[in-house]
Amino acid sequence: MWVFFNGASEWIETGAKNGAVGVSLTDQINQKLWAGHFLGFKLKDSSGVARFYNLAYGSPYPTGTHNYQNSKISSTSWAVYLNSARVLTIPRTINYPSAEGVVVGIESKDTTNSFRSGTYISNWQFINTSGN
């Protein structure tokens, strides 16, 4: 799920990933292979340079149903939730009062699978800044 800002040049994304992720928030140069819950964001830092971060969270190879959420939690902060538990507060000031858009889907370079084996989106909710 992608929540985007600034003409889609900046975003926050959550979901599942099978591939390389940064070792930590402060070490994005070194990568590790990961299959599980993932979050990524590309946002401008205080000097105006857009930087991309991607992180693993939770246990590898999760099974069952999971709930992902990107939420505006204050006038300058966004947070990522997994199964209603906050995983990360985005560690910088974001001057976007709301997202420009939301995209939900599957992004894959795997041409041999069609994601018909139990991968799907359900219970999609959008709550505006008024809580409606």
Q: Taking Cα atoms as reference points, which of 53, 15, 19, 24 lies closest to residue 34?
A: 19
For the segment 42-67, the average pLDDT, to the nearest whole number, is 84
Q: How far apart are CA 42 and CA 55, in angstroms?
A: 12
Kindly report the average pLDDT of the chain as a whole number. Answer: 78
Confidence category of residue 86, pLDDT binned at 50, 70, 90: very high
Q: What is the pLDDT of residue 112?
A: 64
Residue 32, φ and ψ in degrees, nearest 5: -130, 155
Contacts of 73 (CB under 8 A, 6+ apart): 79, 89
Q: Is residue 56 predicted with pLDDT exceeding 70?
A: yes
User: How far, in Å, are 14, 48, 81 from residue 54 at the CA level?
Assistant: 10, 19, 15
Q: Which pairing describes strands 2-5 and 68-72: parallel, antiparallel, or unpaired?
A: unpaired
Residue 106, φ and ψ in degrees, nearest 5: -115, 130
Q: Taking Cα atoms as reference points, which of 85, 105, 108 lies closest to residue 4?
A: 105
The tokens describing 76, both together, are 């300058």
Condensed to tens digits (0 to 9), the pLDDT of residues 16-42 reads: 888 889 888 888 889 999 999 999 888
How is the chain split into domains, by residue range? 2-103
| Predicted model pTM | 0.75
Percent of the chain with pLDDT over 90: 5
